[in-house]
Amino acid sequence: MVMEEEEEALVQKITGLAAAIGKLPSLSPSPEVNALFTELVTACIPPSTVDVEQLGPEAQDMRARLIRLCSEAEGLLEAHYSDLLAAFDSPLDHLALFPYLDNYIMLSQLEYGLLARHIPGPAPARVAFVGSGPLPLSSLVLAARHLPAASFDNYDICGEANERARRLVRADEDLGARMAFRTSDVADVTREMAAYDVVFLAALVGMAAEEKARVVEHLGRHMAPGAALVVRSAHGARGFLYPVVDPEEIRRGGFDVLAVHHPEGQVINSVIIARKPVPVDGQGHAHAHGAVVSRPCLCCEMEARAHQKMEEMAMEELPS
């Protein structure tokens, strides 16, 4: 009974914040906007038993509106800081000006660690990030810190977002050569998808469940056998900020789900690691085209288990 009261109190609090945010004349960064979203995020960080998928119709409508407001505010915040950074001669030297950089560092390290653990083998050579936005921090962190030899194709439906993103890498010879920004709806990207070893799907690509399902199904049709898919999701009260992705939707889209990770006490997204199956012929031989696939040997699995806790502890000591 106490837990039900706590959940009801949380929903009421978030409903009030959603109403206040909805009345703002603008969602561009400002003291009032920043204060309301800080209060919202703070309310959603602690572990919660609330299941946003089981809310009543009125609360579901509120949640859908709130996620779209969060998406709009996030886009405006990223555009603001992208413009701020672009004013410097070397924009990437000043990324720490973005107040939530540490969240991206933590999330990118988590995703890279999960990929390495569940899909070991040669490092990915070609990576796609779908929904990269005007401040593509995830791609930048992954390319600079974890995948220094990989090329990144960043897809966003907004041409202005991609123009902003290009300006950030103009002074970095390495990242400027390895990072491309493509203006396209992912639904229109077909043959190109077969070239990627890993595809990252941003949390706000396909905000409604049916939209996300269509995107995943499209990727399942066009990605290479053996290629990895990294999907950002949400859990508990963080489902008021981002869409929740059911792992079953990933399976229905044509993927094997290898891992689902829900960070505790942090605002970063949940992460689903999946892989498109490799066809097996009548003799039991797997054939992969386009993506490098390596199955873990027993010693690798034992090592991964032995170091799992060490990796999780290291997550708490990430550099800023």
Question: Where do the structural domains in the chain lie, given as residue ranges?
Answer: 2-95, 98-315
* Per-residue confidence in pLDDT tens, the chain, 320 aa: 345 888 899 999 999 999 999 999 999 999 999 999 999 999 998 888 899 989 999 999 999 999 999 999 999 999 999 999 999 999 999 999 999 999 999 999 999 999 999 998 899 999 999 999 999 999 999 999 999 999 999 999 999 999 999 999 999 999 999 999 999 999 999 999 999 999 999 998 977 778 899 999 999 999 999 999 999 999 999 999 999 999 999 999 999 999 999 988 777 899 999 999 998 765 444 444 333 333 333 333 333 333 344 344 434 433 33
**What pTM, to 2 d.p., does this model score?**
0.85
Closest Cα to residue 273, out of 287, 289, 257, 285?
Answer: 257
* 181: β partners: 154
CATH of domain 98-315: 3.40.50.150
Instruction: Give the alpha-carbon dihedral of 169, 173, 175, 176, to 10 degrees.
Output: 50
Q: Which two tokens stand for residue 27?
A: 């969602």
